[in-house]
Amino acid sequence: MTINLEQTNRAIRHTCTSEFGELKKVVVCPPTHMSISEIINETQKHYAEDNIDETLASKQHRTFVQTMLANGIDVYSLPPSDKLPEQVFTRDIGFTLGDTVFISHMGSDIRTGEEEILKSWLRENHSSFTALSGHSVEGGDVMIDRDIVYVGISGRTSSEGLDKIRGALPEYTVYPIPIEQSYLHLDCVFNVISPTEALIYTPALREQEIGYLSKRYELIEVTKEEQFTMGTNVLSIGNKKIFSLPCNSNVNAQLRKRGYEVLEVDISEIIKSGGSFRCCTLPLLRK
């Protein structure tokens, strides 16, 4: 069953130095009140007429959580609010870099308030955090790989927000990656899956950054069609296990060819709002 942090009377350990280490503790939020009530990205524009089937989204999310639990991950759940239709995407409202949990400054008004719930929840459970305020930063644009933190400069994360992260993490190299503004977050077009491999949708990035990343990783190209169905937005849980959508067959075949165990879980109702497995998880502890 999902562990409830409110029942815990001691602080939860939090540390994260990669996107691919063994995931031990993660925060989610059920899509109980999920809807496309205000179009805030291109994916939502496509699905606005259909909107979200909350019952189906909740069922799919439960299957995702159960699969994480079956793989030895402690899953903690935030309380959903009927005033926050995007709350399922917990990665955006906070992110763990090194030993620090950062709270985002949301770049969209409809998501304002999500960060206050996370702050309250962490306080109640004796967990420290650092709030980033004044300039927009969202966790979907922030990615850590050992000594480097990548920060997407997008419609949701500003250059000033990048400076906030850089100031808070003087021991890390913070590398900006501007992305084409029609794409929501960095993790919608790029994702590090091992010390030597990364998924990428190159049309969204500039040649300068592609050249830099190609020297650090083997870049696995995602097609235009599978970018739209969140092909880069996989979730690595360590030991070469990775969550990916069943519909992204090309991505999944490439991962299996490289020796990954692909955990195919259908959250197709949730991705209608513009996020997938990585977006739906806020890692607190990776080993």
Catalytic residue positions?
A: 185, 279
Q: Are 245 and 267 in contact (CB under 8 A)?
A: yes
**If you write DSSP's letter for every residue of 141-191 in order, what string do you get?**
GEEEETTEEEEEESSSS-HHHHHHHHHH-TTSEEEEEEB-TTS--GGGTEE
Q: Are 266 and 57 in contact (CB under 8 A)?
A: no
Q: What residues are paired with 238 via a beta bridge?
A: 241
DSSP letter assigned to residue 234: -
Question: Which tokens sit at 139?
Answer: 């966790």
Q: Are 276 and 258 in contact (CB under 8 A)?
A: no
Q: Are 159 and 179 in contact (CB under 8 A)?
A: no
Q: Are 36 and 49 in contact (CB under 8 A)?
A: no
